[in-house]
Amino acid sequence: MKICFAASSGGHLEQLMMLYPMMKKHDSFIITEKTTYEFKSKDIKLYTVSQINRREILFFLKLLYLFFNSLFIFLKEKPDAVISTGALATIPICILAKLFKKKLIFIESFSKISSPTLTGKLLYKKADIFLVQWEEMKKYYPNAIYGGGIY
């Protein structure tokens, strides 16, 4: 099974890297944003995509570019599943997983205890498995699976 692990840089990526043992067990690759954040993917194949901010004037053009960049990676790697901790830069690869009838697993951020993320709200009904790391988040995502913290 080939798995795409997708996260924006920083805390989302650090959470995703808690799944490193799973990455090692499977044919895996990582997609994250290209930023100045120092990240070592260890020995897992790494792809970077453009960082995006929904408040930018050129947001929709950048989102379109991000979608096609993600499509290129998706078609090249052909993952069977996408596991994501969000955020915005990962939405295209998650949508592509569903368009190509692949499994999508979304893990809501550990830092969100009392309110949902925008990415979580967008992907909640699309994900095959939606995990929350805090029991309190089930009030926002009633069909989610409480999995505890991945830390």
Residue 103 domain-assigned?
A: yes
Residue 72 domain-assigned?
A: yes
| Sheet architecture: strand order including 81-86 | 45-49, 27-33, 2-7, 81-86, 103-107, 129-132, 145-146
Residue 18 domain-assigned?
A: yes
Instruction: Categorize the per-residue pLDDT at 52 as very low, low, confident or very high, splitting at 50, 70 and 90.
Output: confident
Per-residue pLDDT, 10: 87
71: buried, middle or exposed (CB in 10 Å: 19+, 13-18, 0-12)? Answer: middle
Rounded to two decimals, the pTM is 0.94
Q: Residue 87 maps to which CATH number? A: 3.40.50.2000
CB-side exposure of 105: number of CA atoms within 13 Å? Answer: 13
- Indicate the residue type of 49: V
Residue 77 domain-assigned?
A: yes
Residue 111 domain-assigned?
A: yes
Residue 89 domain-assigned?
A: yes
The residue behind tokens 């830092």 is 111
Q: Which domain holds residue 136?
A: 2-146
* Domains: count for the chain: 1
Residue 95 domain-assigned?
A: yes
pLDDT tens for residues 59-94? 899 999 999 999 999 999 999 999 999 999 999 999
Residue 151 domain-assigned?
A: no
